[in-house]
Structure 1
Amino acid sequence: MTEMLLKYFREKQEKVQSERVYDAQCPYCSMQCKMQLVEQSIVTRTKHMTIAQDNPTSHGRICIKGMNAHQHALHSERITSPLLKVGGEFVKISWNQAFTYIGEKFRNLKEKYGKDSLSAYGGGSLTNETSYLLGKFARVALQTKYIDYNGRFCMAAAASAAKEALGIDRGFTNEISEIKEAECIILVGTNIAECQPTIMPYFEEAKENGAYIIAIDPRSTATTETAHLHLKIKPGKDALLANALLKILIEEDLIDESFINNRVKGWQEVKEYVERLSLDHIAEETGIDLSLIRKAGRKFGEANASMLFTARGVEQQIDGHDAVRGFLNLLLATGNFGKKGAGYGAITGQGNGQGGREHGQKADQLPGYRSIENIEHRKYIANIWGVEESELPHKGVSAYEMMGKIHEGEIKGMLLMGSNPIVSNPNANYVKKAIESLEFLVAVDMFVSETAQLADVILPCTSYLENKGTLTNLEGRVMLREGARPAPGEAKNDWAILRGIARELGKEQYFAFSDVEEIFDELRLASKGGSADYYGITYERIKSKQGILWPCPSEEHGGTARLFENKFMNSDEKAVMKVIGHKESRKEVVTEQYPLYLTTGRIMSHYLTGVQTRKTSALEARNFESFIEIHPSTAAYYGIEDQTLVKVRSERGEIVVRSKFSTAIRQDTVFVPFHWGEDQNVNMLIPEELDPICRIPGFKLGTVTITPIHSPILN
């Protein structure tokens, strides 16, 4: 009888079981891996499973973050209706009430303080369509010059360096498949094995094919372990090392004179400067044995095709722009552009960090990577938008500098979309005070983040499963994310939220889109003729080709796999080398009071400020708290035991994190990940100084002191 009952219930369960499959794309890093979410309903429960899908970039691979991304999208704490802060508490209101209230507050601030009292602050994970529309919204609906985004903290140094040196900024100058063709590869300041693991097979294949891999990092990581040579550099000394490598190329006669003479400007000045430098001095300053620096230079120069990749470790410095220019000098001096297996890659961090800046979120840029200060660029975009050129604001300031404008009283209101600045910015206490002092803050988010908690209104947006649109991955491939799953509750797509607020501001005619593809078609036209030209890319073509590499100037064009085969993108078609002088005086140096270097970064289980990954149980279980990676000898000197609480203090503040011993880190350096807020927020310790050219903060170099916290209760 029991067996018969079990059989009956099993058959009944199978009959009521249903299955839905949603095409998706990972919301995290710039690999933008394709996947499907399988949703099975079985009687009283629903089961979810993620399956990786084949595509030209990640070839059916997926990492632990992507595998579990649905957990945050389906989390019970998702905001599903607009929230208004009343008496310090959030209460639910309707969308009509929210839009009316926001419109009224923004109009009042504009009338009282002027147009530039309003601001927009975006994110690097927004779709191309939302990024484009947010830039248009700031300049047409709010009519303010103050817009920037958190991608300013990601690739700004690499973007500005590539634009000046090569004439164009696309993450990779080659499609990703060419990595396996390189004979020598330098990885500067990147831990891709943990941060973007689905790219690692390309480097492993290159290594199997005989490529010599050099890693430059102050820590030993899963990435440096795959390299043949690890240059364990002192934090902040990257520009010096680039000059040393170039000097060795000159001394070893490994320069491509023909390439330089025909395609490069500025070589003679760079050569004369570098030849005057002392390699012994640089070896001492960088903390790297000179014989290892010589070996790296020879290996790079002797290869027939070399590639070089940079990431946040070198870029997030107050000389990040110049450091990247220094490494680009190496590629130009050896003729490593425009041929198979040779080129440069800036390994984008955020999912759409590339597309996000191309189409208008940056303070100084209009769609298509046009300059907001160029009169012809302004006229072109004004015509697309149906406004007068004179009505377009001029450039504002970078993301962190916007916080200064709040402190100065110039910015009074802000629309925050897809970002968490009080955790992601340097000098985070200063930033929190700025956000708290705003007269009106609107946060568009899925969760009540640390910054959204300070908002007057929170508007619920859709997740990667629900929000359709294009994103541009690290190799410049424009991909379409379907976003087909129904949104929970009353959550709206970002673009629909912008349209609703624009209507209340009397600008509805400029945002009269009925679906996301209409926005993309306007973006295509706005980008036409710009350096980031998407004009030939359509939703239909993306689907048929699984993504298209820009620039793609016409619908007959197949997309550009390899840049610079015949010319660079500067007006005279030549690349530009730059003398990289040493600016150590602007950087923090260790002192008796703050004797240790602090560097920061990511870990595999979390992403950015952790708003999404800390809502994912499978990831939170791996790292539920922050930590300080410290060499055992250093810990012993300061009386710190493994797995105990440590106070880390700089001139700007202090945090408390748990110790984690590692012989993989330099003895003069400690490492803290940046995925946590409150008293674990390492960005409270980071200096506020910015790179003078690209305005990126120097997250990768601070100075601190450490002390143990002896408490049996806490420990």
Structure 2
Amino acid sequence: MTELMLKYFRDKQDAVQKEKVYDTQCPYCSMQCKMQLIEQTVISRKIHKTIGKDNPTSEGRLCIKGINAHQHALHRDRLKEPLMKIDGTFVPVSWNKALEVIKEKFTALQQTEGNNALSVYGSASITNEEAYLLGKFARVALGTKYIDYNGRLCMGAAATAANQTFGMDRGFSMTLDEIPKTRCIILAGTNIAECQPTIMPYFERAKENGAYIIAIDPRETATTNFADLHLKNKPGSDVALANGLLKILIDEKLLDEDFLAARTNGFEELKEQMESIDLDEVAELTGVSKEQIYQTAIVFGKETTGMIFTARGIEQQLDGTAAVRSFINLLLATGKIGKAYSGYGAVTGQGNGQGAREHGQKTDQLPGYRSIENQEHREHISKLWGIDEKDLPRKGVSAYEMFEKIEEGEIQAMFIMCSNPIISNPNANFVKKALKKLDFLVVADLFLSDTAKLADIVLPATSYLEDAGTMTNVEGRVMLREASYPIVGNAKHDWQIICEIANALGKEKYFNYQSVEEIFEELRLTSKGGKSDYYGITYERLRKEKGVLWPCPSPTEPSTLRLFEQSFAHPDGKAKMAFFSNHGEVKKPKTSRKYPLLLTTGRVMSHYLTGEQTRKSPSLAAHNVEAFMEVHPETAKQYGIKKNTLVKVESKFGWIVVRSKWSDSIRKDTVFVPFHWTESQNVNRLVSNQLDPYCKMPGFKVSAVNITPSKE
């Protein structure tokens, strides 16, 4: 055997001997796929590969983002130590120095301007423990009412609609396992094939079993191509479409009268209002033919079981809450909820979009999905936290409204955790201007994001490979994310960062945790008896059962697989139906001579949220290196836009320059731009500052714009 061959076998043996395996979960979408990072060391060089791990939700599947997630976590640009801005330049400092400055600045503002001069902006990508702790930090350590989080921009409409209609909000009223056995599925404004690819096999099995699938979307996508029927509606017309469908269900007597009488309130009033709905007007408003509207209503109404799933397409509207409630009306009218193979599903976007909104990050909420304005709820949490109820702040304002409070001078400092609001918020130019106006900004993140670049102090956080804790996935299943990869540099876990700032402010009595599991044990107690009751869930149980669906009030009780079988969560046990006008309560952006086209936004498969993480992954960035504007060829010709050329897209709020992409798959009156890029490609510069009156969701999905060939 030659020396070269011997060396080959020795190297191969060394690789096997030095292989390490790290269990974790994907940091991206709400499927929260279980996976393992395999690290091999070959002659001092580390080679990484990610593989799926079997679990009840994704069954071992991974999509392209999950397979390549480690590339951003191990990227050379990861923040490794605290940074402080001195004379406009970031310089490394010790943790002690960073905490000392934060204490000095926060305390000075509290003394001169009051506690509400401080604010906290959270994230739906952090763990349940960290979301819980961030809410406690704002209210106990800072004593401020100003806290909200980026999930407001994602799940606000669905959560509010579910709470108003059902009395509680768990994304899915049923489990993923029931999907293959249902008879009819409506996918309203959700492109699951590209946004949650590992969920698709459930729908594929349903189709194989004979289910009829209807997709509602202004664009043709991988999801609409999979469906049996595609309703290519005009952006912003979802309430009118749902009303048209309900009108037909009533006229054709395809109702579950017994269910309506026993389980709902408000149907008779709704029925009276439906007499004013004209199907010709609905067809005109939506751009969907009466024949297709009838076909959808008849199929859904006649099938014995059915499900409706909504996502950002209909939720990120100025009438997003109304749109979701209007589609839920269809389920209630036909009795397709609370029974086998039927139900409602809000397809959560961010990894912990469900759990992050349950335990106190939202400005109006306390742990366990309790209300901060409810006296009994306030007393319950105050007692467990060891504070006087009178010292617990009241409700503040929503995520975007906090930036308005900065502009007004009421908020003068902000702590941002794992979020990039100058890219993700509407009216992005205004948000950037507001952040620059702050007296003091602290950001905790993995990278020096666009938002972090504006900070006075940046704190290095740990990634999904390093930071353990629980996440609550798309179906309401609480899952334990194991994480044991060596921490990069001097980064700290989010929960440690929160505790260290609180301790620096003299609040160590309330933040004396030694482990993330200890925080979860407190979360269990504070959630006990609430709508999102985690009391029966422990780390040991999560490891054994691979996840538990809440509510779970006792360690001896099983997961709650299906909600609302006997009653809804309102005090009288009934769901609340409500009518919403085709024309809405809020004045929506409308086309004009100056802005003749509608703009809608969304994701591409290879990127996620603001792209801060996925653009650090070479394998993902290579699929989409820049933003683009999808436009119908006839529309492009009308406005002088050639293929693959730079085009200026402008609204009354700002402008961007992106590359044109001709496509027959989009409506002629609509253009599409994804939202994963920054600066002059940041589509949220074009989105208005208007908000849904119920949930404060911005209207990301409908803007009036003009397009012209770029001169740059």
TM-score range, shorter chain: over 0.9
Mapped partners of 1:252, 1:177: distance in 2: 31
Paired residue total: 709
Alignment TM-score, normalising by the size of structure 2: 0.99
Mapped partners of 2:413, 2:641: distance in 1: 45
Counterpart position of 1:11: 9
Q: Does 1:644 align with 2:652?
A: no
Counterpart position of 1:157: 157
Opposite residue 49 of structure 1, the aligned amino acid is: K
Counterpart position of 2:537: 537
Opposite residue 11 of structure 2, the aligned amino acid is: Q
Mapped partners of 1:272, 1:413: distance in 2: 50
For residues 595-648 of structure 1, the C-alpha deviation after alignment (integer angstroms, 9 at most, x for no partner) is: 000000000000000010000000001101000000000000111111110000
Shift of 1:87: 1.2
Counterpart position of 1:336: 336
The aligned runs of 1:630-709 (5 Å cut-off) are: 630-709=631-710
3-state SS of 1:271 partner: helix
For residues 357-386 of structure 1, the C-alpha deviation after alignment (integer angstroms, 9 at most, x for no partner) is: 100000000000000000000000001100
Instruction: Flag as ranges the 4+ runs of structure 1 deviating above 6 A.
Output: none
For residues 272-306 of structure 1, the C-alpha deviation after alignment (integer angstroms, 9 at most, x for no partner) is: 11122110011011101101000000000001001
Counterpart position of 2:56: 56
3-state SS of 2:222 partner: coil
Shift of 1:693: 0.5
Task: Tell me if the contact between 1:319 and 1:583 (Cα under 8 Å) persists in the aligned partners.
Answer: no
For structure 2, the residue ranges without an aligned partner over 5 or more in a row are none
Mapped partners of 2:120, 2:434: distance in 1: 15
Mapped partners of 1:16, 1:174: distance in 2: 48
More displaced stretch, 88-97 vs 468-477: 88-97
Task: Tell me if the contact between 2:654 and 2:686 (Cα under 8 Å) persists in the aligned partners.
Answer: yes
User: How many percent of aligned residue pairs carry the same amino acid?
Assistant: 61
3-state SS of 2:304 partner: coil
Opposite residue 314 of structure 2, the aligned amino acid is: V
The aligned runs of 1:273-312 (5 Å cut-off) are: 273-312=273-312
Counterpart position of 1:473: 473
3-state SS of 2:2 partner: helix
Q: Does 1:247 align with 2:251?
A: no
Counterpart position of 1:525: 525
Mapped partners of 2:582, 2:113: distance in 1: 43
Opposite residue 214 of structure 2, the aligned amino acid is: I
Shift of 1:13: 1.7
Shift of 1:6: 0.6
Mapped partners of 1:335, 1:203: distance in 2: 21
Counterpart position of 1:269: 269
Counterpart position of 1:454: 454
For residues 641-693 of structure 1, the C-alpha deviation after alignment (integer angstroms, 9 at most, x for no partner) is: 11110000000111000001110000000000000010000000001100000
3-state SS of 1:353 partner: coil
More displaced stretch, 95-104 vs 512-521: 95-104
3-state SS of 1:586 partner: coil
3-state SS of 2:608 partner: coil
Shift of 1:710: 5.3
Counterpart position of 1:623: 624
Mapped partners of 1:285, 1:10: distance in 2: 69
Shift of 1:11: 3.3
For structure 1, the residue ranges without an aligned partner over 5 or more in a row are none
Counterpart position of 1:582: 582
Mapped partners of 1:231, 1:10: distance in 2: 59
Counterpart position of 2:484: 484
Mapped partners of 1:432, 1:560: distance in 2: 43
3-state SS of 1:532 partner: coil
Shift of 1:7: 1.7
3-state SS of 2:22 partner: strand
For residues 417-469 of structure 1, the C-alpha deviation after alignment (integer angstroms, 9 at most, x for no partner) is: 01000000000000000000000000000000000000000000000000000
Q: Does 1:355 align with 2:349?
A: no
Shift of 1:526: 0.3
Opposite residue 610 of structure 1, the aligned amino acid is: G
Opposite residue 486 of structure 1, the aligned amino acid is: P
Shift of 1:709: 2.2
Task: Tell me if the contact between 1:444 and 1:461 (Cα under 8 Å) persists in the aligned partners.
Answer: yes
Counterpart position of 2:39: 39
Alignment TM-score, normalising by the size of structure 1: 0.99
Counterpart position of 1:258: 258
Task: Tell me if the contact between 2:125 and 2:352 (Cα under 8 Å) persists in the aligned partners.
Answer: yes
Opposite residue 324 of structure 2, the aligned amino acid is: V
Shift of 1:267: 0.4
Q: Does 1:612 align with 2:610?
A: no
Counterpart position of 1:127: 127
3-state SS of 1:341 partner: coil
Opposite residue 508 of structure 1, the aligned amino acid is: E
Task: Tell me if the contact between 1:33 and 1:58 (Cα under 8 Å) persists in the aligned partners.
Answer: yes
Mapped partners of 1:202, 1:176: distance in 2: 7
3-state SS of 1:180 partner: helix
Q: Does 1:191 align with 2:191?
A: yes
Task: Tell me if the contact between 2:243 and 2:582 (Cα under 8 Å) persists in the aligned partners.
Answer: no
The aligned runs of 1:342-421 (5 Å cut-off) are: 342-421=342-421
Mapped partners of 1:59, 1:11: distance in 2: 35
Opposite residue 622 of structure 1, the aligned amino acid is: H
Mapped partners of 1:461, 1:277: distance in 2: 53
Shift of 1:16: 3.3
Shift of 1:581: 1.6
Mapped partners of 2:344, 2:43: distance in 1: 53
Q: Does 1:137 align with 2:137?
A: yes
Opposite residue 37 of structure 2, the aligned amino acid is: L
3-state SS of 1:599 partner: strand
Opposite residue 637 of structure 1, the aligned amino acid is: Q
3-state SS of 2:402 partner: helix
Task: Tell me if the contact between 1:174 and 1:344 (Cα under 8 Å) persists in the aligned partners.
Answer: yes
- State the Cα RMSD in Å: 0.8
Shift of 1:89: 1.0
Opposite residue 7 of structure 2, the aligned amino acid is: F
Mapped partners of 1:429, 1:322: distance in 2: 28
Q: Does 1:179 align with 2:204?
A: no
The aligned runs of 1:581-600 (5 Å cut-off) are: 581-584=581-584, 586-600=587-601
Shift of 1:15: 4.4
Mapped partners of 1:271, 1:583: distance in 2: 18
Mapped partners of 1:255, 1:7: distance in 2: 75
Mapped partners of 1:432, 1:457: distance in 2: 17
